[in-house]
Chain A
Amino acid sequence: MISQLFVLSQRGDNIVFRDYRGEVQKGTAEIFFRKVKFWKEDGQEEAPPVFNVNGVNYFHVKIVGLLFVATTRVNVSPSLVLELLQRIARVIKDYLGVLNEDSIRKNFVLVYELLDEVMDFGYVQTTTTEVLKSFVFNEPIVVDAAHLSPLGPAGLFMQGTKRMPGTAVTKSVVANEPGGRKREEIFVDIIEKISITFSSSGYILTSEIDGTIQMKSYLTGNPEIRLALNDDLSIGRDYRGSFGSGAVVLDDCNFHESVRLDNFDVDRTLSLVPPDGEFPVMNYRMTQEFKPPFRINALIEEAGAPKAEVILKVHAEFPSSITANTISVQMPLPKYTMRASFELEPGAVGQTTDFKQANRRLEWNLKKIVGGSEHTLRARLTFSQESHGNITKESGPVSMTFTIPMYNASKLQVKYLQIAKKSGTYNPYRWVRYVTLSNSYVARM
């Protein structure tokens, strides 16, 4: 059971503070914040999500720069509390449309109302937006989302292609739109995070895709939905029966509790009655080989002591109809590097470079990369001393972050999205969107 729950801003201010059981002393928010801020004197290590100070256990999750914190004296299940904190953040987001410090401050009475219904005396009562609707009466004060940094992967769609309605992810589940009528629509997002490690010779050492099918429903009356995935989808790594070209083999997956799998084994369809708000329908994990979206080539060579040259090449392996955006390539350099001068390819647009003196790191940012293209960066390094070791060993690995809308490496697809019809004219908007993100994309030197 949970004793207190509070939300702190980045500066450590209390935005919301709820004490459910009164068994933990006052001042926990200060104790917590000091502990997190000064976890290790050198600032090198961050505080773990769970720690104990004087018999009080503190749990926290970081969401859009806010700290959601729970305290208890009891030896509870850590995954339950951390999961709960995430869920509370999600419920608040469902209500407010946008989750950030400003929106919580403006709606803190509503947030209190939610917290009162989510938990009683430290025991969870409900976390479904659906159920909460009937208990919660404050109307959200909608915060303008235009100038705010979007939350989470789904927010990325805002900068994506114009086909998608930008308001979707920041729309409150309960607030009525200006027209008074709610637009009937449902969003299904397939979000994949890629982890790859390339060896120094370009081989793939490890690769994994962690995916989520996320749904956000604005349908009234909660109609049943059927979601069909690839026919050739198989689950379980040992299952090699249908392993052939194009088959999608997931190592494992799990499902939201509303999902029924009655037909899943037969035709790979999921049926569910989606609750209001945002939730993951299915999480999956895949280690089957797949084509990496980018190849990275990195080279560092001595060029007359005490100097060296770095050549970085990035090649986009995906089709030219697709464009990746917000790409950043980083490479740690030998610690005796003094200066770096950069040379971009002729005619380069939307590219910036930087040498971070403090941690001896080269940064190369590209606004976008069109499929099939290749980009090169040359850098000349000046060292403070003659290098007497192997400079390749003292630099790297190169890491890369990116976002690729409308692309997924696993080839998992939502074939169709069927909504149980209430009437002949009922035809809500359905949006199925894909996005691939980098998780840990690393090339060794």
Chain B
Amino acid sequence: MATTSSSPSMAIPGQFLGPVSKFQPGPGTHIHESNLYASLLGVVNIAQPAKAPGPVKRLNKIINTQTSPAELPTISVLRAAGSSDKREVLPEVGNVVLCRVIRIMPRQAVVAILICGDTVLEAEWQGLIRVQDVRATEKDRVKIYDSFRPGDIVRAEVISLGDQASYYLSTARNELGVIMATSEAGNTMYPVNWKEYKDPETGLSEPRKVAKPY
């Protein structure tokens, strides 16, 4: 490789991009022995720094500008995509997602994450809402059967990327919870209060952890 000062335009995972003294690491890159390497297969972007940058939150790492005296350009590797719409969106920690309840068990509810933020996901990711993450108060007396039922649409927040099988989600805020539910008789129900949905045809109400409407 004769390139000494210029970084490549396309990168494969593990490709050397530049030293840490010249670039700031962005998404798709990682540092190894004070050198920047690409983590993804894609196009290399170099972003010139803004005039007055504040502390930047990137994934889980806060970059403090005091430690980078000169404003270094940020180098990042983005997946090459035909059109920007096809870029795959993954749920990150702190995202509010919409999901459908697949299965309920005594200590957790298994859900399928359908929508992350505003984008409909191409693949359905599995999520888990544990019994202690359903509510903020009285966590030990939560009953999953009185909070969710299979088929409900739930608004939840991602609290952890979880393990190999599923993300961990939480509905422990007022505006999180069940937003759409179907009754046992098969009719769409409307919410009555924070813990009940009512079927307009039969008049029966069913317990759920209801999300506060905006």
Do the two shown chains form a genuine complex with each other? no
Q: Which A residues are within 8 Å of any B CB, using their own CB? A: none
Q: Which B residues are within 8 Å of any A CB, using their own CB? A: none
